[in-house]
Amino acid sequence: MPDLMSRLSSALADRYKIERRLGEGGMATVYLADDLRHDRKVALKVLKPELAAVLGAERFVQEIKTTARLQHPNILPLFDSGTVERPSGATEFLYYVMPFIEGETLRDKLDRETQLGIDEAVKIAAEVAEALDAAHHEGVIHRDIKPENILLHKGRPMVADFGIALAVSAAAGGRMTETGLSLGTPHYMSPEQATAEKEITPRSDVYSLGSVLYEMLTGEPPHSGGSAQAIIMKIVTEPADPVTKIRKSVPPNVTAAVAKALEKLAADRFESAKAFADALTNPAYRLPTAVTVGVGEGGSRRNAITLVGLAIAFVAGFAVALGWSATRTTADSAQPVRRLPLSYDIDDDIGALAPNGEFHVFSAPNSSGEPQLWVRRWRNLEPTPIQGTEGAVGAVAISPDGREVAFSSDFPGPLLAAPIDGGPARTLVESQWAVSTWGGDGMIYFTDSSTAAVGAISRVPAGGGPVEPVTELRDGEVMHLAFRLLPNGRTGLFSVHYNLDGSGAEVWAVDLDDGERKRLALGQNPFYAHTGHVVFGTAEGYLMAAAFDSDALELCSLGGPVLENVRRAILGKVPVYTIAETGTMLYRSGGGSLPVPVLIDRQGVTTGRLREWRGASNPDISPDGSRVTLSHDGDIFVVQLEGGLTTQLTFGEGRNEMPHWSPDGRRVFFTSNRQSSAPDHFDVFSMRADGGGEPRLEFDGEQSIVRARWSPDGQWLLLTTLSEGPTGSDIFGLQPGPDAEPVPLITSRFWDFDP
């Protein structure tokens, strides 16, 4: 079947001669074409197929005509638009045509320079604001102002794709969710766009332009995060830092103008884009009142997460604890955060807080170097050991009355309980993996290691008695962890793990009466807060929160980050934190900021940043330099370096890692445990780079393959294997072919890797 460009060229041959593909935008693929009727170069943009599949063609063409009347030197005009139909009459392509501008986008310039000169940034923003104002007077709101939509031509900014987002939205009607498209780019969305308000005013464009100017001045948008969800929650709930906090040389009038443009409430922003431009160019402009930044300001009236109460900072670089509440009230009810330094040593198993939040139980070495449970009551300066808990390791659970603690003594090992104030421990279960919680129903919930229910959740009466199964493992599930019983006594939350490294873990809810289960979110280690919210951690070090309907077993509000930069355990990437029933939170800080893939040329100059792929790893550039493969959260992706078009190659079947291009650029090789019964055994697979077909097994060895890389001539596949015993990893070479066997290249007693 001919490719998209060939089909398009054939259908429009009487009007346009398509020369080449220029790149990929958020909604369209862009081609350079010759306008045969007018003898000029044009940019022909074809809406993505998933959009064309649900949009009404006539409505789209009608709506996009509203932008044709826009006339302004800083607005890229619309030349043409239309549809291409199949012989059956069904719409195949929706397209629109704009001038082809020699130059670059503002995104290209920012990726290269990071920050712009203040005068240049203000000039660009002011001219874009003038263009927006002209469009607003014609009743057209852009809705998608971002650096990618601002072209720079001979030093003059020109705004592209004016009204395209509106046309798509209007044509789709109520079916936008079918397109998989979110109008507006998360970093530059206004709060009203982020909360999906129906009425969008010109002040939304003012906010987006303020965000673009903020990035031109500081090098980063006003809000960032590891996911679109995290960014949106910050836009709704958190004030942006003043630009002078990052760049002190920004003039007072520009600082004030940016702050006003970024107000949460649309009514508090400039009344027009022209007023924004005037403030940027008026040295005397100041805000009428001082802007103060602090906890609770600018909060949303939609279940905003407000940090309040006790905050404990581990001065040795370990942790912070704080109380928090999620409330529907205004920001005036927010309480100040209080901090108390702690200096004792805590490992990745942070232990548990008492239900009333008044003390902390954790495992740490005693004077003999043996692990033991300790209790730290906040009224005391030092923790004290708990008798009878020598050898205690891993998670602990405190009884609802705060008098006893349940704990493990090995992995797997017996489940024991002991009085916190001293007394002999008693054995409840002979073998289990990890204790989860001590429920208000008098049962202790734990991850079972018995032959009947290995890896699932079971429970045992706190006073001793028969063990009862609570959950059952389904196909592909390796283990259930972190069970939490809700106050209603019939609903439970728990983590479902599909491998042992914590990637791809999910939060599920279960109704204990009928066994019904529902998936809630990607994450792990859930807690139920007294406000009716579920708090859970992500492998990237975020703590998220969302309101929970325990009857429907559903999250029912926008989830957002309660905290960032939470330390993750080495095993399983579990965020290290615990929450008391009162809302006090104890967590270990220092997770580090998520890395952003950066493109650097041979002279060491940064040429681009893949900001949307914060947290991704193992980048590998294609032989022609146009694409890069990345691994993220257990799957493999291919990203076009121009335009950002993304192709997902794997979809959650096992753990997929270490992507590497074949020498001809047609396939991507990677390691995966998808066909192995052991979660830590990886084989070599490959996929077509365009995402077509199914993964193909390339090599199934006795040893787990850490990485596979081709020699440049395509003759050898170099395998890094994980060896048993003290030799660590070794390197083998494989010449693909019938009955090919790996040839040992480096098999020393050391760890040998990354050939």
Output DSSP code: residue 66. G
Q: Return the closest-CA partner of residue 683 out of 666, 667, 692, 695.
A: 695
Residue tagged 């259908």 (tokens): 11
Tokens of 140: 């057209």
Output DSSP code: residue 566. B
Q: Return the closest-CA partner of residue 691 out of 626, 636, 748.
A: 636
CB–CB of 473/508 below 8 Å? no
CB–CB of 541/573 below 8 Å? no
Helices 252-261 and 273-280 pack at an angle, to 10 degrees, of 160
Alpha helices in 289-354 (DSSP H): none
User: Helix, strand, or coil here: 702?
Assistant: coil
User: Helix, strand, or coil here: 133?
Assistant: helix
Output DSSP code: residue 228. H
Number of other CB atoms surrounding residue 102 within 10 Å: 8
Residue tagged 């078009």 (tokens): 645
Q: Return the closest-CA partner of residue 206 out of 286, 275, 254, 255.
A: 275
Q: CA angle 538-541-544, nearest 5°?
A: 50
**Active-site residues: which are they?**
144
Q: Whole-angstrom Cα distance, residue 298 to residue 655?
A: 40
Burial of 440: CB neighbours in 10 Å, binned 0-12, 13-18, 19+: middle
Tokens of 486: 């809700």
C-alpha torsion angle, residues 263, 268, 271, 273 (rounded to 10): -10
Amino acid at 298: G
Tokens of 694: 């199914």
C-alpha torsion angle, residues 632, 638, 641, 646 (rounded to 10): -90
User: Helix, strand, or coil here: 366?
Assistant: coil
Strand 337-339, strand 304-313: pairing: parallel
Q: Return the closest-CA partner of residue 462 out of 491, 489, 431, 439.
A: 439
Burial of 627: CB neighbours in 10 Å, binned 0-12, 13-18, 19+: buried
Burial of 552: CB neighbours in 10 Å, binned 0-12, 13-18, 19+: exposed
Sheet strands (E) in 420-523: 426-438, 443-448, 457-461, 468-469, 479-485, 491-497, 506-511, 517-522
Amino acid at 653: E
What DSSP line would sit under 474-501, residue for residue? -TT--EEEEEEE-TTSSEEEEEEESSTT
CB–CB of 535/562 below 8 Å? yes
Q: Return the closest-CA partner of residue 641 out of 107, 245, 66.
A: 107
Q: Whole-angstrom Cα distance, residue 612 to residue 638?
A: 13
> Based on C-alpha coordinates, what's the Rg of the chain?
29
